Structure 1
Amino acid sequence: MNPGVWAWVGLSWTERIRLVLEEYGDRLTDISIFGWIVAADGTLTETFDPAQLDTYREKWPHIRFWGCFRNMDDPVDGPYAIFEALRDSATARANLADQVQTKMFDMYPWLYGVDLDMEGGGNFRSEDSEAVFHAVSDRAHALGKKSSGALPALTATGSVGGENWVRYKELGAILDHVSIMSYDFAWSGSAPGPVSPGFWLEQVYDWAASQITPSKISMGLPLYAYFWSIHDYPSSWGATRRGVSGTYYSAWQYFTGARPWSDSGTHNAIGWLAYRDESSMSLWGYLDCYDWKEPTAWENITGAVAGTFQGKDYVVRYGLPGGVPQWSIVDNSAGNSLIAYDFRADTVTAANGAQVSPKVGYTLTTEIIQREPVAATIIDDYATSDGQLSNIYVQPSGAWRFIQATDTYKQYRGSGELNFNNNFGAQSLYAQARFQFAEAGRFGVTSQGITADVTDGGHLRIMQGSTVLAEKWVTARPVGTPAMTGRTVLALRVREGSARAYYSTAETSIPLQLKVDVTPPGGPTGFSSTGDAWIDHIYLGDGWLYQPREAIEVEVNGQTKVLGRIPRTGVTWDSANRFRPDLDVEESETRQINIVLDWTYEHWKDLPISTGQTERVNIRPLDHDLWLGRLTILDRDGASIVYFNDATSIAHWQGRAALEWGLQGVAMWSLGQEDVRLWESLAGGELPAKTKRLDE
């Protein structure tokens, strides 16, 4: 059986779409007509005339046509308000079912089924959401029709878009078919990257195929491109995002030199190299980039190391695990750390044959991942060893032991008290543990006589002795899971007149949960658990001083520039690159910029280099834990990084969808944006009686 080929039609109606429908309909098995929008009361409004498809229905009788309604076009509140209204109202859902019958199936009886494209709905109202699908699907089935749903992409850990109302198993039981929208992992507002990265597709379909009968599933794939401008900050051209979408052929025009990066006359028409990403099989490349380096292509390196995450290389300087002498605050300033690269911005050949370079000058753009500042380090212990457990900690009423859980993963396991083996006096401190509940109970962090503790059920408190100073409910955590799963992060910051409790399920961001004004009475700093707990990371830092993780210094031809430093107000810096809030406030209150754990771009505009000369670029990582990615020498007036799919990309994933997961096929968004060569590479859904040879 040939894999199914599903495509959406109706977002636009172009000559290219009509060409594909006329010439390559034998390659299509299903067409979803993106032709109706739904209102909050369930009313459908037609936005595309399905009669425009009559010619192609007659020519290709094997194609199954579906009527698709969407909730994307609310001018005020967007899709969320419409989805909320449908989830809230049984009357609206009943009206929607009636509308599907009268405005789809009664008017167009040749429709094979109905396709629901319900965007938004970020909270966990799963049963209410499923009621919308039930209402429509039940009516379709009563009329002898089928139902399909375009569902967000989920892995076992949830949706990258936060649409965690989706339960694949339940929706798979309601619907006859699902198209999983496994695209826009990278989008216009994110860092550049593959729109459907390979590692993510593997995670999505491993999970989906375990929850839904695989033969019901179509793998959603993008036919379009994304262009991210990376030569300057978006505010310089009046934008908030770097990215815009485009078709395959728009990318093809730029990379072949058929048109310049800009039509304003500031750029030459130049052909640029495109590469194939090994993971996603998508194409990618730079426009108006005159040299670039992977972060690992250094000439020399001191005090930093390389790593790889999700197939992408980076270089990082890690912080020190403890101060010298012990219990002092670590000096995590850059010291002699340095990474050196050689660049050469040569002329390139324009489409007219001329050797050209940028008309004005160059920009150096660096990829970096910034992180929120941390309390200046005193101890950073990843459950290091049995000796560390004995030397750094005391157990006044505890039974803690060191466990080598795997070849590379370690834990301290036990219950009772585990305190630091030092008298800190009245020093303000920040103490944090990442742990998991091996048994049900209460885990706590204590400093200066103040305790923050939490139960596996999510009851979080700040205590002074037996007195509860503040409390709330947070996310509950599993009990008795395998090592490294279900981990929890609890932290306590105690200053002279305040205490704060922080709680999260991951160390990437640990938000403040409770704050009280209190005078700490004094006492040891450490951890405790009423039941067996497994700790894999303990962090102790100063209660006032912060170490930023955001900036590098670049040196070229004797000139230097700091990139990535976030402006702050109401702080005082010290000589070791640390800052302290002048008032008893959260670090986040000293800045107006959110720190997002994603690749971002920093720029040195008008870089002091010359065309045709090899130039040494020295990178000094001012802060630890900052990841440095690719470095590019760009046209200062405009340059992009582009990711796009071609025929090879789609054919690759069509084969894997069928052979690895047993899926029904692929679902492509959307017809008219693709590399038309795709249709020659796909096996026919049904071949007509006579087909033309490709060489005729």
Structure 2
Amino acid sequence: MVEKQQRETILVNGYAYPSIGPETLQAWLPDLTFVSTFSYGFTADGQLIDLMDENIIRAAQPAGVQSLMVLTPLDSQGAFNNQLAKALLENPQAQDQLIDNILDNIRTKGMFGVDFDFEYVLAENRDQYTELVRKARQRLNAAGYLVTVALAPKTSADQPGLLYQGHDYRGMGQAANFILTMTYEWGYTYGPPMAVAPLNQVRRVLDYAVSEVPPDQLLMGIPNYGYDWTLPFVQGESRAEKISNDEAIARAERYGVEIFFDEQAQSPYYYYTDENGADHVVWFEDERSMQAKLALVSEYGLAGVSYWNIMDYFAAGSEVLREMYDVAKV
């Protein structure tokens, strides 16, 4: 008699803005361990800029889903401000004040922890950022709370570029409870048409990540959307339209075009011509691409996955997740 293979249980995080539709959030909750509310801000002296996320927290609790507050150095235009991050990271007193405020917020709102998402951190502030996360974990873990950090999709320790130089995988693996790899946005709004998360590129990031961080501390980022580019692509001028996976599928049906599948990227795409005669190409996620990504969790021994983001529900993707894994509730 062959024993039934035990299903793996994984952690699943989903990022959400407070503007998420109630029905969309309810559809996602059975498949989530954490919901990360995006995003809280802060001032240079460590004051917290609140996020009105009570609607998410209230809905998540009865479903056994724990809420994490996402902390970002965003400016008033919604762009990452590394000068704000620099001011905080070079001021130990401001950091202590910020951690105090994070703890107060988590206790007051009944949340589970904090997710640090500082992007474009200056190379000179790299170690200070790691130290901030380490101090936060020390304080929050002692109070029973969790600290996670979202990191750029690096493939080597000394990878050049502003997105990468301020993130220390090995240091953050020691500083935080979990690392969320932002393994998406190869295809993006202002870039040339390509898969949002090509599997071959995701593998390169994971190969590096597991060399620096224990795999059971890693959550792999998965995109829950696609892009529609008008052709020809013109660098500096073209701007792709971000669309849900369901809309991508519906658009292909509406124009009666064939959906292709790129074997290297393990991602679907198609071409169409709109009513005005303009040519388009669309890259998105479907059951096949989701299955290919989710299989990496078992292959690499990862803790789980993190969806950016859950503002649209993709039933087919959730079905693939349920077929492959059980979702942990903590």
With the length of structure 2 as denominator, give the TM-score of the two structures: 0.87
Match 1:98 to one of 97, 100, 115: 100
- Residues 251 and 64 from structure 1, CA distance in 2 versus in 1: closer, same or farther, beyond 3 angstroms? same
Alignment of 1:5-84 (within 5 A): 5-10=12-17, 12-21=19-28, 25-58=29-62, 60-61=63-64, 63-75=65-77, 78-84=80-86
Residue aligning to 1:280: 265
Per-residue deviation at 1:174?
A: 0.5
Q: Counterpart of 1:8 in structure 2: which amino acid?
A: Y
Match 1:639 to one of 241, 257, 279: 279
- Residues 33 and 176 from structure 1, CA distance in 2 versus in 1: closer, same or farther, beyond 3 angstroms? same
Match 2:312 to one of 673, 679, 686: 673
Looking at structure 2, the residues matched to 284 and 77 of structure 1 have their Cα atoms a distance apart, in angstroms, of 29
Spell out, residue by residue over 1:253-279, the C-alpha distance to the aligned partner (whole angstroms, 9 max, x if none).
Answer: 32111xxxxxxxxxxxx2222212212
Alignment of 1:496-575 (within 5 A): none
Residue aligning to 1:449: none
Per-residue deviation at 1:153?
A: 0.8
Greater share of residues in helix: 2
Residue aligning to 2:256: 271
Residue aligning to 1:213: 214
Alignment of 1:598-613 (within 5 A): none
User: Aligned to 2:189, what secondary structure does the other structure show?
Assistant: coil
Looking at structure 2, the residues matched to 44 and 36 of structure 1 have their Cα atoms a distance apart, in angstroms, of 7
In the alignment, structure 2 segments of 5+ residues that lack a partner are 1-7
Looking at structure 2, the residues matched to 101 and 651 of structure 1 have their Cα atoms a distance apart, in angstroms, of 37
On the 8 A contact 1:285/1:641 being kept in 2, the answer is yes
Q: Counterpart of 1:252 in structure 2: which amino acid?
A: I
Residue aligning to 1:248: 245
- Residues 649 and 139 from structure 1, CA distance in 2 versus in 1: closer, same or farther, beyond 3 angstroms? same
Residue aligning to 1:170: 171
- Residues 144 and 190 from structure 1, CA distance in 2 versus in 1: closer, same or farther, beyond 3 angstroms? same
User: Aligned to 2:238, what secondary structure does the other structure show?
Assistant: coil
Q: Counterpart of 1:98 in structure 2: which amino acid?
A: D
Looking at structure 2, the residues matched to 76 and 647 of structure 1 have their Cα atoms a distance apart, in angstroms, of 32
Residue aligning to 1:685: 327
Looking at structure 2, the residues matched to 39 and 648 of structure 1 have their Cα atoms a distance apart, in angstroms, of 43
Residue aligning to 2:3: none
Q: Counterpart of 2:293 in structure 1: which amino acid?
A: W
Based on CA coordinates, which of the two structures has the bigger radius of gyration? 1
- Residues 255 and 73 from structure 1, CA distance in 2 versus in 1: closer, same or farther, beyond 3 angstroms? farther
User: Aligned to 2:38, what secondary structure does the other structure show?
Assistant: strand
Looking at structure 1, the residues matched to 233 and 127 of structure 2 have their Cα atoms a distance apart, in angstroms, of 46
User: Aligned to 1:276, what secondary structure does the other structure show?
Assistant: strand
Per-residue deviation at 1:126?
A: 1.9
Per-residue deviation at 1:134?
A: 2.4
Between Structure 1 and Structure 2, how many residues are aligned?
318
Per-residue deviation at 1:133?
A: 1.4
User: Aligned to 1:272, what secondary structure does the other structure show?
Assistant: coil
Q: Counterpart of 2:58 in structure 1: which amino acid?
A: D
Looking at structure 1, the residues matched to 115 and 264 of structure 2 have their Cα atoms a distance apart, in angstroms, of 31
Q: Counterpart of 2:292 in structure 1: which amino acid?
A: H
- Residues 39 and 241 from structure 1, CA distance in 2 versus in 1: closer, same or farther, beyond 3 angstroms? farther
Looking at structure 1, the residues matched to 207 and 234 of structure 2 have their Cα atoms a distance apart, in angstroms, of 38
Alignment of 1:230-241 (within 5 A): 230-231=231-232, 233=234, 240-241=237-238
Looking at structure 1, the residues matched to 75 and 286 of structure 2 have their Cα atoms a distance apart, in angstroms, of 29
**Aligned-residue CA RMSD in angstroms?**
2.4
On the 8 A contact 2:198/2:265 being kept in 1, the answer is yes
User: Aligned to 1:170, what secondary structure does the other structure show?
Assistant: helix
Residue aligning to 1:188: 189
Looking at structure 2, the residues matched to 73 and 249 of structure 1 have their Cα atoms a distance apart, in angstroms, of 32
On the 8 A contact 2:33/2:327 being kept in 1, the answer is yes
Per-residue deviation at 1:201?
A: 0.9
Residue aligning to 1:466: none
User: Aligned to 1:218, what secondary structure does the other structure show?
Assistant: strand
- Residues 85 and 168 from structure 1, CA distance in 2 versus in 1: closer, same or farther, beyond 3 angstroms? same
On the 8 A contact 1:33/1:50 being kept in 2, the answer is no
Looking at structure 2, the residues matched to 214 and 172 of structure 1 have their Cα atoms a distance apart, in angstroms, of 10
Looking at structure 1, the residues matched to 222 and 269 of structure 2 have their Cα atoms a distance apart, in angstroms, of 16
In the alignment, structure 1 segments of 5+ residues that lack a partner are 258-269, 290-357, 360-634, 688-696
Looking at structure 2, the residues matched to 171 and 232 of structure 1 have their Cα atoms a distance apart, in angstroms, of 37
User: Aligned to 1:681, what secondary structure does the other structure show?
Assistant: helix
Spell out, residue by residue over 1:567-607, the C-alpha distance to the aligned partner (whole angstroms, 9 max, x if none).
Answer: xxxxxxxxxxxxxxxxxxxxxxxxxxxxxxxxxxxxxxxxx
Q: Counterpart of 1:255 in structure 2: which amino acid?
A: A
Looking at structure 2, the residues matched to 11 and 277 of structure 1 have their Cα atoms a distance apart, in angstroms, of 35
Looking at structure 2, the residues matched to 15 and 277 of structure 1 have their Cα atoms a distance apart, in angstroms, of 35
Q: Counterpart of 2:81 in structure 1: which amino acid?
A: P
Looking at structure 1, the residues matched to 160 and 197 of structure 2 have their Cα atoms a distance apart, in angstroms, of 14
Per-residue deviation at 1:16?
A: 4.5
User: Aligned to 2:265, what secondary structure does the other structure show?
Assistant: coil
Residue aligning to 1:151: 151
Looking at structure 1, the residues matched to 78 and 222 of structure 2 have their Cα atoms a distance apart, in angstroms, of 29
Per-residue deviation at 1:154?
A: 0.5
Share of identical aligned residues, percent?
Answer: 20
Spell out, residue by residue over 1:462-498, the C-alpha distance to the aligned partner (whole angstroms, 9 max, x if none).
Answer: xxxxxxxxxxxxxxxxxxxxxxxxxxxxxxxxxxxxx
On the 8 A contact 1:35/1:50 being kept in 2, the answer is no
- Residues 244 and 77 from structure 1, CA distance in 2 versus in 1: closer, same or farther, beyond 3 angstroms? closer
- Residues 674 and 150 from structure 1, CA distance in 2 versus in 1: closer, same or farther, beyond 3 angstroms? same
On the 8 A contact 1:154/1:160 being kept in 2, the answer is no
On the 8 A contact 2:72/2:80 being kept in 1, the answer is no
Looking at structure 2, the residues matched to 52 and 190 of structure 1 have their Cα atoms a distance apart, in angstroms, of 32
Per-residue deviation at 1:39?
A: 2.6
Looking at structure 2, the residues matched to 232 and 682 of structure 1 have their Cα atoms a distance apart, in angstroms, of 34
Q: Counterpart of 1:167 in structure 2: which amino acid?
A: D
Spell out, residue by residue over 1:606-645, the C-alpha distance to the aligned partner (whole angstroms, 9 max, x if none).
Answer: xxxxxxxxxxxxxxxxxxxxxxxxxxxxx3xx22211111
